[in-house]
Structure formats: structure tokens, C-alpha cells
Amino acid sequence: MKALIEQIHAKGTKSVSFPLRVYSLQYNGPQPRIPISVPKKLFKRAVKRNLIRRRIREAFRQLTKEHPEWRKDKAFLIVYISKDISDYETIKSALEAVLEK
């Protein structure tokens, strides 16, 4: 998993839609897990980081349920870049904007 994350970060394409930065890479293996990074530097408390991760995970699940072709043959790395906790709708719309590109 760590090697895949490094490969996505180094060779993947980067798209930004505030509050998310998404790296994507063509991937022809088994469907990988989607790593989500919420920097400890921005949110010291694990409770807040986990809340943001849960919101991103649920938004991604809902969007790929509506558009399964977005996840086909791709590996993603999602990084949260805002200093504030965004609500679910903001995260979902930002993720949708990035995945449509």
C-alpha cells in the first residue's frame, strides 16, 4: 500500500477543488483502497481528523455509486487541505468537481 501511495503521489495527476487535493493514477491491478490524508499539522485532535475522513469516505462512496466508471482502472489519493472542518455537502461537491475532470 505504501509503495502505491508513493507511486500515485509521484506519477499521478493532481487536481484541486478546495478543500480537497486529489491525485489519480491509471492502475490495472485489483481495486485498491482509497487512502485519505488529513494532516495532523492542521488538526491536532484525532476526533476531528476522523470526522473529516468519514465525510470524505462517504462522499466518495455515494459518488462512485452514482458514477461507477470514475473508479474503474484508477487509484486515488485524497488529501484534505483546508484549515477548517467543512460540512458534508461542501466535501461532496468538491470531490465531484475533481472526479469529473
Whether the per-residue pLDDT at 41 is higher than 90: the answer is yes
- Give the model's confidence band at 29: pLDDT under 50 very low, under 70 low, under 90 confident, else very high: confident
Residue 33 scores a pLDDT above 90: no
User: Of the CATH numbers 3.30.230.10, 3.30.1490.190, 3.30.540.10, 1.10.3720.10, which one belongs to the domain with range 2-100?
Assistant: 3.30.230.10
The pTM for the full model equals 0.92
CA distance 70 to 64: 6
Delimit the domains of the chain by residue range.
Answer: 2-100
Per-residue pLDDT for 96 more than 90? Answer: yes
How many whole angstroms from its chain centre is CA 17?
A: 11
Give per-residue pLDDT as tens, 44-83.
999 999 999 999 999 999 999 999 888 788 899 999 999 9
**Among positive and negative, which fits the CA dihedral 32, 34, 39, 43?**
negative
